[in-house]
């Protein structure tokens, strides 16, 4: 049924949204995209059209405006009802971080699905509650409109057992303690785009580095996930903006048993005060760290690049080689200096950079004829959600 697909991605202090038209002659067409930032503090909403031109913006003073996702959605809807001009909303697609063991694909949301997603909150405590709050808020605004949950974990369900399990007795894997992987919507989008661009490359061996405030890498062979750096939670793997990444579990036990830290204190440290922010003492923003300079900044950037470089090689080993390394997300797409740090020392895999191409953020930043292509691609999780929502809507 022709109409509008509304995409919502609710975070702890932000709400991203996008509007797609299913009736466009060229297929699913992007109309608007935007976000509400600073929810509960000094909210700011901005929306842009398909060309990137701002079409709506509103700011509130500290302590005013939306205080939660419901209020943020109210503000977005007040503007959307004007621009949609009576067009029917056919479906609402949501990013849901954790799908657990059972959700391997996007699913239409009902009370049973909501109950199962609520039970997964302990596995993604910083993300899942806000995703579910966005679903509940949308249901109040659009009674009877189909809602679709699209999972960050679903793409990784094709990974083999050895990439899925921990070195624990089998009953723990059966009870859901396994490597779920995250950023799956981003990886799926990149895999689909590369397959459309170049079917041979799309069927090849890829390592995709989704590097942003949250960061992970994924090995993909023949378009299917084969391994990821993130595991049971979105804390594992490479260091991130504020998250530590992989850490010896004995360190956590030591913090609790010897240093007397509570589990809440350890959780805040590992999730909110580590990674680039904690190591640099400056910020989680690579641009600010590079501008600040100094020993701590160098340690933070050097450690980040070292860990990513290790994971590129490890994931390539897991799939028997590498045909392309793909950088995406905020750092991956825009931080040429970080990309150079990561690729330095990967020559043994056939990976090299063309400095000029890298500096100018070209779509391909490896030298012509290099045995391994190094690519920079923009990811679009919102479009992936819209495509999935339309697929579910059409049965």
The CATH class of 4-151 is: alpha beta
Q: Please provide the average confidence, as pLDDT, over all residues in the chain.
A: 91
CA distances from 169 to 55, 246, 311 (A): 56, 21, 26
Distance, in Å, from the CA atom of 139 to the CA atom of 119, rounded to the nearest integer, reads 19
Point out which residues pair with 374 in neighbouring strands.
Answer: 325
Q: Which of 21, 152, 164, 323 is catalytic?
A: 152
Q: What's the pLDDT band for 185 if we cut at 50, 70, 90?
A: very high
Confidence of residue 248 (pLDDT cuts 50, 70, 90): very high
Q: Given this model, what pLDDT does residue 150 score? A: 96
Residue 25's pLDDT is: 57
Q: Is 354 among the catalytic positions? A: no
Q: Where are the beta strands (DSSP E) in 84-197?
A: 89-96, 107-108, 147-151
Return the structure tokens found at 11: 């975070």
Contact 106, 148 (CB under 8 A): yes
> Over 60: is that where the pLDDT of 47 sits?
yes
Residues 363 and 61 sit within 8 Å (Cβ to Cβ)? no
Q: Give yes or no for residue 74 having a pLDDT over 90.
A: no
Confidence of residue 335 (pLDDT cuts 50, 70, 90): very high
Amino acid 59: pLDDT? 87
Strands 147-151 and 107-108: antiparallel
Domain boundaries, the chain: 4-151, 200-376
- Domain boundaries 200-376, CATH class: alpha beta
Q: Which pairs with CB-CB distance under 8 Å and at least 24 residues apart come from 334-338? A: 334/361, 335/211, 335/286, 335/287, 336/361, 337/290, 337/301, 338/211, 338/286, 338/301, 338/304, 338/305
Q: Radius of gyration (Cα) for the chain, nearest Å?
A: 21
Pairing of strands 4-10, 89-96: parallel
């Amino acid at each position: 049924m022709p109409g509008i697909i509304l995409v919502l991605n609710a975070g702890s202090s932000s709400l991203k949204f996008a509007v797609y038209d299913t009736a466009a002659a060229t297929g699913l067409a992007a109309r608007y995209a935007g976000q509400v930032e600073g929810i509960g503090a000094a909210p700011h909403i901005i929306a842009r059209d398909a060309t990137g031109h701002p079409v709506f913006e509103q700011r509130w003073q500290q302590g005013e405006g939306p205080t939660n996702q419901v209020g943020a959605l109210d503000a977005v809807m007040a503007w959307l009802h004007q621009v949609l001009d009576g067009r029917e909303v056919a479906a609402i697609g949501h990013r849901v971080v954790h799908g657990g063991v059972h959700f391997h694909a996007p699913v239409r949301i009902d009370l049973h699905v909501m109950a199962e997603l609520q039970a997964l909150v302990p596995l993604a405590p910083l993300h899942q509650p806000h995703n579910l709050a966005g679903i509940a808020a949308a249901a109040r605004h659009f009674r009877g409109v189909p809602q679709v949950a699209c999972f960050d974990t679903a793409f990784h369900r094709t990974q083999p057992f050895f990439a899925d399990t921990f070195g624990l007795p089998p009953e723990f894997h059966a009870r859901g303690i396994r490597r779920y992987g995250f950023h799956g919507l981003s990886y799926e989008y990149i895999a689909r785009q590369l397959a459309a661009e170049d079917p041979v490359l799309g069927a090849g061996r890829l390592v995709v580095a989704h590097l942003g405030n949250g960061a992970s890498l994924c090995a993909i062979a023949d378009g299917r996930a084969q391994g990821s750096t993130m595991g049971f939670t979105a804390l594992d793997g490479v260091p991130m903006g504020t998250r530590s990444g992989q850490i010896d579990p004995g360190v956590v036990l030591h913090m609790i048993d010897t240093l007397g830290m509570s589990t809440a204190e350890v959780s805040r440290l590992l999730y909110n005060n580590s990674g680039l922010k904690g190591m640099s003492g400056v910020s989680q923003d690579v641009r600010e760290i590079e501008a600040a300079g100094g020993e701590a900044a160098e340690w933070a950037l050097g450690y980040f690049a070292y860990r990513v470089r290790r994971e590129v090689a490890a994931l390539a080993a897991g799939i028997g080689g590498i045909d392309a390394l793909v950088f995406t997300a905020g750092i991956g797409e825009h931080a040429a200096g970080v990309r150079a740090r990561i690729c330095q020392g990967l020559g043994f895999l056939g990976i090299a950079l063309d400095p000029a191409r890298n500096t100018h953020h070209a779509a391909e930043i490896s030298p012509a004829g290099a045995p391994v292509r190094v690519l920079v691609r923009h990811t679009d999780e919102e479009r992936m959600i819209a495509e999935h929502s339309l697929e579910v809507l059409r049965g």
